[in-house]
Homo-oligomer: A and B are copies of this chain.
Amino acid sequence: MSNSKSDFLGWMATIQERTESALSTILPESSIAPERLHDAMRYAVLGGGKRVRALLAHAAGELTDAPVERLDRVACAVEFIHAYSLVHDDMPCMDDDVLRRGKPTVHVEYDEATALLTGDALQTLAFQVLSEPTIAPTAADQLEMISLLARASGSRGMAGGQAIDLDAVGKAISRIELEFMHIHKTGALIRASVLLGARCGPACDADLLEPLDRYGKLVGLLFQVVDDILDAQSDTATLGKTAGKDADSNKPTYVSLMGLNEARALAESLHAEAHAVLHALAPRSSRLEELARFIVRRRF
């Protein structure tokens, strides 16, 4: 292992650990009423996940000299939104999945009504976290960050992508339509994670935001293409969620649309493009660079 790779893995472990600790601190304790709801919220969020969105926020924030405590808040906000979307997405009326991060999904472990409220309350908590202590150079910047997270999560972002996804089941769609869906469903929040991290820092300016936005968009798509490849190749134990699910439920994926080899080639080309976009920001963008490489090389 090269020094730089072991350094990256160390950095990643550090950020994952601080994120876990910040999430645990912000989530209400299970002993606070309503106990069952708080317990389910902690169950849904803690103890699992690669925390890709948190890592992206921290990596982008390092580029703008953002204080790490601010990045912890942003990391928690995007991870709460992500966790809420998983809890709702797993429910019987959506994907009806029983396994997530190697554990029973929230509606299986608790019940459907609790899963519904858990997702609802995690979304609220994300906005609460972004509104409270100072996390941006000015209060006006912080309002813009809240607006950015809302636009990325709502009907014209992540939730809209879920709706398009529902509508696409069993239909023949084009690669352009598939991309449109993923740009919303997964891409919008990943892109927002990068921008929100960057906006925490005093050295954030418009010249920086444009390539970062481009990078976020590429990495968001890359993440989904790799997800589709892994879903087609892996077994359930490795993934920690039900494998082959998308193909079984007749959902269009990059693999079903292009075949495995073409999908792999697409992932490589998105990675190369992300690499090129970061070139102008080097060497301060090295963490973002390493993260893109991590995303394209991941095995679970």
Chain A residues packing against B (C-beta within 8 Å): 28, 32-34, 36-38, 41, 84, 88, 91, 93-94, 111-117, 119-121, 123-125, 127-128, 130-132, 138-140, 142-144, 146-147, 150-151, 153-156, 159-160, 162-164, 166-167
Contacts and interface: CB of A to CB of B under 8 A. Distances in A.
A125 B84 CA distance: 16
A115 to B, nearest CB: 8
Contact of A131 (B36, B84, B146): B146
A120 B119 contact: yes
Given A124-B155, A125-B150, A160-B33, A116 B143 contact: no
Contacts of A124: 123, 150, 153-155, 159
Nearest to A139: B139
Contact of A127 (B28, B37, B146): B146
A120 B88 contact: yes
Q: Please state the number of chain copies in the assembly.
A: 2
Contacts of A127: 127, 146, 150
Given A117-B155, A131-B143, 18 more contacts: A28-B155, A28-B156, A32-B156, A33-B164, A37-B160, A91-B116, A93-B116, A94-B116, A116-B116, A121-B159, A124-B154, A124-B155, A128-B150, A130-B146, A131-B144, A131-B146, A132-B143, A142-B143
A285 B102 CA distance: 56
A112, A143, A160, A167 pick with most chain B CB within 10 angstroms: A143
Given A114-B163, A146-B146, A121 B33 contact: no
Nearest to A141: B139
A123 B120 contact: yes
Contacts of A123: 120, 123-124
A33 to B, nearest CB: 7
Contact of A143 (B33, B37, B139): B139
Given A34-B155, A113-B93, A121 B166 contact: no
B167 A34 contact: yes
Most buried by B among A123, A124, A154: A124
A3 B163 CA distance: 50
Contact of A125 (B33, B91, B146, B155): B155
Given A127-B150, A128-B151, A143-B139, A160 B34 contact: yes
Given A93-B112, A116-B91, A127-B146, A34 B164 contact: yes
Contact of A166 (B113, B138, B144, B156): B113
